[in-house]
Chain A
Amino acid sequence: MEIVCPAGTPAALRAAVKAGAHTVYCGFNDETNARNFPGLNFDRAEMREGIRFAHDHGSKVLIAINTFPRAGAEGIWHDAVSDAASAGADAVILADPGLLAFAMQNHPDLRRHLSVQAAAANSDVINFYARCFDVKRVVLPRVLSVAEIAAINDQTKVETEVFVFGGLCVMAEGRCSLSSYATGLSPNMNGVCSPASHVDYHDEGDTLAVRLGGYTIHRAKPGEPAPYPTLCKGCFATQDQKGYLFEDPVSLNAEQLIPQLKKAGVTALKIEGRQRSRSYVAQVVRNFRDAVDALEEGRELPAGMLARLSEGQAETTGAYRKIWR
């Protein structure tokens, strides 16, 4: 199975490649990718150099251009696709049908993957994208069980890629408006969920409060993990209860499910975290590469050591086992 690893910076790309990533995904430093955070991503020259480094070491590079083009500004997204092709990317990860059409018409040899942002969660829609845009791989939304993934693979020839580690989105991906509601900016249009410019942490002595767009969304007591700055992982009081009303602040770790995912026909395992450090990338990639190599060689899977790196310091197998709340 192929390990697909995040890289938010050229240094993280090199760390991922050295740690054994089969494939690295990254984005340009603008609104065309869904991790448009300060200090992150690649300018055009860095992207060309990163791809050269990866190829020299036998790894592939996928470029995520997975936000939705703004009316009147489609050229920014078209340029990103064309620049990805000329930089030698092994594939682009796209979500918008118009952009998929542009890529197919103008760069037919550039392999197209369907982003998780497209929220393609059944074989009919996946086959539609394959038929219309010759999509070769789909990144499945994090809302499917292993049995559902197996059912999809039975009905499509499109490769499937699934998330195995990192942050979780509770919504059908590409359709979440919570960040827009609080800040006016969203991952879908601007590439930022809960943009840092709208996040404010405040040490209140015995508690740590986080505000998003002026709204207090959580207060963590001493000993509790620092609160996550998104509305979906906020802690709220309603008439009859107080707690994480949308989603528990836990992180996905499906490491022990890799054999089942392989049996379900999954081609590639994706690690979330382009916003994380090169230290995180190296540790997580090495861990998952060891696990995949063990599986291929018929050895027992190594025990995981990644809990400390999880967002919220707690883990779940998410929807794969349908116990995630």
Chain B
Amino acid sequence: MFQVPVAIPTFPKLPARALGVVPLGPISMALSAFAKQVARRHPALFRRLGDHAHARFILDPTDLPLVMRLEPNGGAPRVTLLRHPDGGPDGGPDGGPDGRDARIAGPLAALLGLVHGAFDGDALFFSRDLLIEGDTGAVLALRNAIDDAELDLAAELGAISGPLRQPLERLIALAEGATGVALSRHEEEFA
């Protein structure tokens, strides 16, 4: 099991600023395609969302200048990147987030750690490393569905990388070691 760090790493400021000027449309398309791949491999994740399979989630990495709007669409997910703060959590223009959404905000490392089972969501919430707003039921459903899915985003990425799979996995392992961020799922073997 990945060790829970006392302090959660934050994304370096300079690269974060650079993300403020990259074109978001192509990245959103790539992320949507990736999410659809995850949906195909983990259909139970969307079943577990139940009544919240058509909710809208704003995943807000507070150390980045953008937020991610995730629409599960009952198993045909769509991901849209939006800039912060003009697409801010309390109502932005041009189809940005509004009060109907369920918002989960915290450092990127915390959000990735939740996906990979390195952190406990309640512990991060009570320590205020994580903030939730909006539809609390939808947030709970998403948290529980993702926790049960035992996702490994590095493995999912590797599965669509063809011959680049092994170098990519090595690169991710190196980045994980250097940053302390849970970029993949770690699990102890059964003894």
Residues of A bordering B, CB below 8 Å: 8-12, 15, 17-19, 37-40, 57, 195-197, 199-203, 208, 220, 224-226, 228-229, 275-280, 282-283, 308-313
When C-beta atoms are compared, the residue in chain B nearest to A195 turns out to be B137
Q: Are A312 and B143 in contact (CB under 8 A)?
A: no
Shortest beta-carbon contacts, A-B, top 9: A39-B144, A39-B141, A38-B141, A9-B148, A196-B137, A280-B120, A199-B136, A197-B137, A196-B136
Q: How many residue pairs, one in A and one in B, have C-beta atoms under 8 Å apart?
A: 118
When C-beta atoms are compared, the residue in chain B nearest to A14 turns out to be B150
Known A38-B50, A201-B132, A202-B133; 6 more pairs at CB < 8 Å: A39-B144, A196-B137, A225-B126, A277-B114, A283-B1, A313-B127
The verdict on A277 contacting B126 (CB below 8 Å), with A38-B50, A38-B51, A39-B140 known, is no
From residue 109 to 137 of chain B, which have CB atoms closer than 8 A to chain A? 114, 117-123, 125-128, 131-133, 136-137
Least distance between B67 CB and chain A CB atoms (Å):
14
Distance in angstroms between the alpha carbons of A278 and B119 in the assembled complex: 9
Max count, chain A CB within 10 A of own CB: residue among B120, B126, B128, B142: B126
The verdict on A309 contacting B140 (CB below 8 Å), with A11-B148, A202-B133 known, is no
Distance in angstroms between the alpha carbons of A214 and B140 in the assembled complex: 19
Q: Are A278 and B147 in contact (CB under 8 A)?
A: yes
Q: Is the interface of B mostly helix, strand, loop or mixed?
A: helix
Distance in angstroms between the alpha carbons of A187 and B32 in the assembled complex: 38
The verdict on A201 contacting B126 (CB below 8 Å), with A277-B121, A279-B117 known, is no
Contacts of A18 in B (CB 8 A): 187-188, 190
Contacts of B132 in A (CB 8 A): 201
Say yes or no: is B52 at the interface (Cβ < 8 Å to chain A). yes
Option from B119, B145, B148 in Cβ contact (under 8 Å) with A12: B148
Say yes or no: is B49 at the interface (Cβ < 8 Å to chain A). yes
Option from A11, A203, A276 in Cβ contact (under 8 Å) with B149: A11
Say yes or no: is B4 at the interface (Cβ < 8 Å to chain A). yes
Between-chain CB contacts (< 8 Å), 6 pairs: A8-B144, A9-B48, A11-B149, A19-B188, A228-B126, A282-B188
Option from A196, A203, A279 in Cβ contact (under 8 Å) with B120: A279
When C-beta atoms are compared, the residue in chain B nearest to A200 turns out to be B136
Contacts of B133 in A (CB 8 A): 201-203
Least distance between A3 CB and chain B CB atoms (Å):
16
Contacts of A201 in B (CB 8 A): 131-133, 136
Q: Are B128 and A208 in contact (CB under 8 A)?
A: yes
Option from A38, A57, A220, A311 in Cβ contact (under 8 Å) with B140: A38
Contacts of B79 in A (CB 8 A): none
When C-beta atoms are compared, the residue in chain B nearest to A282 turns out to be B1
Contacts of B137 in A (CB 8 A): 38, 195-197, 199
Distance in angstroms between the alpha carbons of A137 and B100 in the assembled complex: 46
Least distance between B95 CB and chain A CB atoms (Å):
22
